[in-house]
Amino acid sequence: MEKIDMKPDFVFSPQPMYIIGTRNEDETPNFCIITWIGFSFDKTPHLMMTIGGSKQTKTNILRENMFSANLISEDNLWLADYFGTTRAEDKIKNDIAYNFNWGKYLNVPVLEQSKWVYECEVSRVIELDGAHLFLADIKNIQIDKNLIGMDLEMIDLNKLKPAIYAPYNYFSVGERIGGCGEWKYNLLNNNEEQETIKVRAN
């Protein structure tokens, strides 16, 4: 396959999106979108997140050391878009109605309209050249009660319907195309009856 080059830029990658919930100094909630997010594991599950420039969300996290990460799905996308394109340093984000609760493990606002939420406690902050990289311990995962039966080995994206960001556009995900470790059925034309293979990453 012949490749062409693209110059790396400010936005560069397709990824799921999260609404980050933080607590303001006056104990009101604040939400914004962050897409520079990844996940990691070191004894416990961690979230890695980069926030650039000056933002209320960053100020709140540096003060409180905690935040919620609320998965953006097709049904809360436009609320998320509002949070991500309105700066709390300029105005209170109260043009659109939404509901929230405080976290079960941490004092972070959890968006009622999100089906999949991480409650995160910051364990390390790395100051970069204008941006801050936050490493955070995931203390709890809240999922919509209607998703009961779903577990961490089968997160059904057809039910969660996450929105995928490919700068500057939003997409939905398609059908499940297979399971981890099923390469031999797909690459070797192996006609054996398929068994369910569970592969654990170490």
Q: Provide the binding-site residues for ligand FMN, judged by CB under 6 A.
A: 17, 30, 32-36, 50-52, 55-57, 84-89, 165
Provide, rounded to whole angstroms, the least separation between the CB of residue 57 and ligand FMN: 3
3-state SS assignment for residue 160 = helix
Measured from the CB atom, the residue of 13 and 190 that comes closer to ligand FMN is 13
Rounded CA gap, 92 and 141, in Å?
28
Provide the minimum distance between the beta carbon of 83 and ligand FMN in the complex, in angstroms, as a whole number: 7
Longest CA pairwise span in the chain (Å): 63
Query: How far from chain centre, in Å, is Cα 196?
Result: 28
- Report helix, strand or coil for 136: strand
Which residue's CB is nearer to ligand FMN, number 21 or number 103? 21
Residue 137 CB, nearest approach to ligand FMN (Å): 20
> Does residue 120 contact residue 136 with C-beta atoms inside 8 Å?
yes
Tell me: cis bond preceding 168? Omega within 30 of 0 counts: yes
Nearest CB to ligand FMN, comparing residues 87 and 124: 87
How near is the Cβ of 15 to ligand FMN at its closest, in Å? 9
Shortest Å distance, C-beta 64 to ligand FMN: 13
**108: Cβ–Cβ under 8 A, 6 or more apart, which residues?**
21, 22, 23, 64, 66, 67, 68, 102, 119, 120
Integer Cα distance of 130 and 104 in angstroms: 32
Closer of 89 and 175 to ligand FMN (Cβ): 89
Q: In this complex, which beta carbon is closest to ligand FMN, that of residue 32 or of residue 120?
A: 32
